[in-house]
Every structure is written in C-alpha cells, then in structure tokens.
C-alpha cells in the first residue's frame, strides 16, 4: 500500500475510534429522564358510607394528603385529584414521575391509605401530552 494510503487508513480508523468512544461516553453520561405513571386509587367498600369512617381512617387520609402535597412541592408528583361523585363511585388519581415502575409502585404502596387498606391502587405507565399553564 502506498504511504499516503496507509496514513489515510490510519487517520480514518483513528477518527472512527474517537467517534465511537464519544458515542459510548455520551450515553453513559446522559442521565435517564424520569418516566411518568398514573395511579388510580379507589375506596374500599367499607368506606362508601361516610358514617363508617373512623378517626384512624380520617388520620390516614390526612397523612395521604400531606404526603402527596410534599411530593408535589418536590416535583415528584405532577398532579393529584379525585372525582366529584358519591363515595361508591369516586376515585382519585396521582400522576407522578419515577425512574421505573418499581420505584413508582414503591412510592404508592407506601402511601398511608394503601398501607392501612383503605384504598386499592392501580399503577399504569403514563405519558402527559399537554399541560395547561397556571393562570
């Protein structure tokens, strides 16, 4: 091979190695974006009658509310709400970010109302497409 051709081959190999290394290092240095999840919470049937609620039940829901408010202030929770229906039909939602479904489930399974057995919890991968800006 001609000396010029050898130098070009070495140069191209070196360039490809630098590009390949840059791609690998770029992937390792880029933190993964948190994923979004939606959690649906439904009251257990015992709580359909508001007169059946105990002081402990009320306390667990107070803790639930405060915990979700703190998580919203930290930026982990995107939004929280519930339907305005009778207790036998109502359900709440929590839209949150987590590294993976396991982390999202761990967060929601440690909610005071879930721990106390006052609500059932369904967790689903979610993708928020549009969000209204606060007025």
Nearest partner of 33 among 133, 135, 128, judged by Cα: 128
- Beta pairing partners, 15: none
Block means of pLDDT (10 residues each) for the chain, length 135 residues? 59 56 52 88 95 96 97 95 94 95 96 96 92 78
Would you state the pLDDT for residue 25? 52
* pLDDT confidence of residue 85: 94
pTM, 2 dp: 0.73
Position 134 scores a pLDDT of 74
> To 5 degrees, how large is the angle CA 54–CA 59–CA 63?
150
Q: What are the C-alpha distances in Å from 111 to residues 16, 21, 95, 96, 105?
A: 51, 44, 14, 13, 10
Q: What is the pLDDT of residue 6?
A: 62
**Tokens (6 digits) for 61:** 């829901």
């Amino acid at each position: 091979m001609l000396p010029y051709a050898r130098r070009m081959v070495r140069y191209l190999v070196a360039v490809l190695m630098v590009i390949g290394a840059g791609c690998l290092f770029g992937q390792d240095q880029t933190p993964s974006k948190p994923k979004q999840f939606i959690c649906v919470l439904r009251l257990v049937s015992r709580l359909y009658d508001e007169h059946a609620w105990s002081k402990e039940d009320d306390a667990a829901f107070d803790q639930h509310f405060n915990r979700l408010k703190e998580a919203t202030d930290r930026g982990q929770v995107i939004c929280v709400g519930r339907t305005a229906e009778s207790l036998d039909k109502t359900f709440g939602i929590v839209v949150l970010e987590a590294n993976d479904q396991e982390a999202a489930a761990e967060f929601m399974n440690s909610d005071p109302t879930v721990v106390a057995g006052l609500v059932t919890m369904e967790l689903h991968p979610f993708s928020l497409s549009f969000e209204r800006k606060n007025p």
